Amino acid sequence: METAPHGLKKRLAALVLSLLLLVTCLPGALAVDLNVDAGFYFKQSRGGTCTLASAAMMLRRRAYLDGLTDWIDVTENSVKSSAWAGGLSHSFNYKAMQVGYATLPSSNAGKTQVLIELLAQHPEGIVLYDRRQPHAVLLTDYTDGVFYCSDPAGSVSSGRVPISSASISIAGASCYWYITSDQNSINTQPDSLRLEGVRYPVNLRTGSGMSVSGTVASASNSVLTEVEVAILDAADQTVQSAEAAPNVSSWSLKNLDSQIKFGELPEGAYTYMVFLTDSNGQTICFMSDFTVSSAATSTATYWTVQDPSGSKLGENVQKAVESVSETASAVEQSAWSWLGNLFGE
């Protein structure tokens, strides 16, 4: 059998792995794009409620990610009874989502780094507050070196805008609210192995790093037995890898961050892979191609719950697997051989 081209070989092997080992292989192309406004944003109802409106937008986005069908009903008024006491409470609970408060470092560089890390961990965004204005916005994401937000002030354009177009700045911000725990996320798919909030590279500038982040959770009656993060080169050879056997039900990929050094990669084409197994034998494989070059840094984040059309990602992947099931037997042996080389077996 002829050697398949680089991209095709990976796709075929991933699909075969899905069929043979009941693996859900999650390509980056299926990621939910929260940057596309599905109805997340609105303006504050009156003066002085910018923090409340921003918190409601944050909770609305989290409810959407959790797959709650009533996410659109999360509004300023619905959150007010739980969160408002003449101002936004520093700690409150709304529909099983716990919100907390914290302050930022004083230096601009320190603020920037903390906010980048927070957004990598919190796809729903955070409420960013500038006491000097005073005013708050929902900081939504950090994409291609730019912070974006939704500003509830009526004088600012609706929807997601660069922070430079908002009423506050990163330099002026002093504190923030964020979702500290989310019972809805735990309950969304209690009987499935899950991979949530995986930040992955699209293009990395030569010599610059990227933090490994994401959360892994096993089914309610199992624990995580294997977690592996790997970088493959254009020849599908592993150039960096890190693995762990957590033996817990929930675990952060940040635990492997120090072992994966994106900044040491020379220019070229690569694949980023995350491979998971739990004690029930469920397995998930996530893979996405990326490049290292002199161009600007670009990253993205994969969310597990819904794709842009609103359906479960697992269903889309299963349909894709079924559509190629007739070809699986023809490449089964080569896929097993390739996977053996991939993981060094």
Enumerate the domain spans of the chain: 6-31+190-342, 50-184
The answer, yes or no, to whether the previous bond of 134 is cis (omega within 30 of 0) is yes
DSSP state of 71: G
pLDDT of residue 32: 53
The CATH number, out of the four listed (3.50.50.60, 2.70.70.10, 3.40.50.720, 2.60.40.2550), of the domain defined by the range 6-31+190-342? 2.60.40.2550
What b/e sequence results for 50-69 when a residue is b if at least 16 CB atoms lie within 10 Å of its CB, and e otherwise? bbbbbbbbbbbbbbbbbbbe
Q: Can you tell me the distance from the alpha carbon of 197 to that of 177, in angstroms, rounded to the nearest whole number?
A: 19
Determine contact, residues 135/127, Cβ cutoff 8 Å: no
Backbone φ and ψ of 162, nearest 5°: -60, 150
pLDDT value, residue 305: 42
pLDDT at position 341 is: 53
φ, ψ of residue 245 to 5 degrees: the values are -120, 80
CA dist 56 and 54 (Å) reads 5
Is the pTM value of this prediction over 0.85?
A: no
Low-confidence stretches of the chain (pLDDT < 50) are 1-23, 29-30, 189-190, 305-339, 343-345
- Reference 80, options 59, 66, 64; nearest CA is 59
What angle in degrees, to the nearest 10, is found between the helix axes of 325-342 and 6-21?
100
pLDDT number for residue 226: 94
Q: For residue 126, what are the contacts with CB-CB under 8 A and spacing of at least 6?
A: 58, 115, 118, 119, 138, 139, 176, 177, 178
Centroid of chain to Cα 313: 14
Residues 11-68 have pLDDT tens digits of: 444 444 434 333 455 665 445 566 777 789 999 999 999 999 999 999 999 998 887 8
The confidence score (pLDDT) of residue 221 equals: 82
Question: Which pLDDT does position 340 carry in this prediction?
Answer: 53
Q: Please determine whether the domains at 6-31+190-342 and 50-184 fall in the same fold group of CATH.
A: no
Q: Which amino acid is at 184?
A: N
| Structure tokens given for 132 | 């000097």
Positions of E strands within the chain: 23-27, 92-94, 97-103, 126-130, 135-143, 146-150, 161-162, 175-182, 194-196, 198-205, 215-217, 224-233, 238-244, 250-252, 268-278, 283-293, 298-302
Report pLDDT for 50: 97
Pick the CATH number of 50-184 from 1.10.3470, 1.10.760, 1.10.10, 3.90.70: 3.90.70
The DSSP-derived string for 278-307 is: ETT--EEEEEEEEEEESSPPEEEEE-SSB-
What's the CA gap between 138 and 37, in Å, rounded? 13
Q: Helix or strand or coil: residue 41?
A: coil
In this prediction, residue 28 carries a pLDDT of 58
